Amino acid sequence: MELLVASAVGAMTAAGLYLVLRARTFPVIVGVAMLSYAVNVFLFASGRLAIDLPPVISDTATGYSDPLPQALVLTAIVISFGMTAVIVVLALRAYLESGTDAIDTPAGESESGQPPSIAPTAASARKSDQTEGGQ
């Protein structure tokens, strides 16, 4: 069981790092989410994996599972969900401002190497199509 969980944490960490190093914003966001999932599973596994044991100490129970890692994971899930929502909004705003989702272009330039005001965007392409079609 421990080998399976450790392998899952390793695979999620590797996939998250690979995605974080991509040149687009959406894979970076998914990579950060994968890294947070890997940390959550690691925190959960740090409380010793116990099957069919209660999380509360009682006189009749032979053992118990530690409730602290479960509480930490629950808190981390809520925080990572909120931070993912913030990052998605920031990435959407950056995409709408620059016209591209590339994260490695110099400031003030699009992928074509032109300033954003000159670079064609989807909105400007629709405007030019409408004006050409109307004439």
Cα 106 to Cα 113: distance, rounded to the nearest angstrom? 9
Cα 20 to Cα 31: distance, rounded to the nearest angstrom? 5
Provide the terminal-to-terminal Cα distance of the chain, rounded to the nearest Å: 70
Mind listing the pLDDT tens digit of every residue in the chain (135 residues)?
A: 789 999 999 999 999 999 999 988 899 999 999 999 999 999 888 877 777 777 777 778 777 777 788 888 999 999 999 999 999 999 999 889 888 888 776 665 655 555 555 555 555 555 555 665 555
- pTM here is 0.68
CATH number for the domain harbouring residue 96: 1.10.287
| Residue 89 placed within a domain | yes
Count of domains forming the chain: 1
Cα 68 to Cα 30: distance, rounded to the nearest angstrom? 27
| Residue 55 placed within a domain | yes
Q: What domain range is 44 assigned to?
A: 2-104
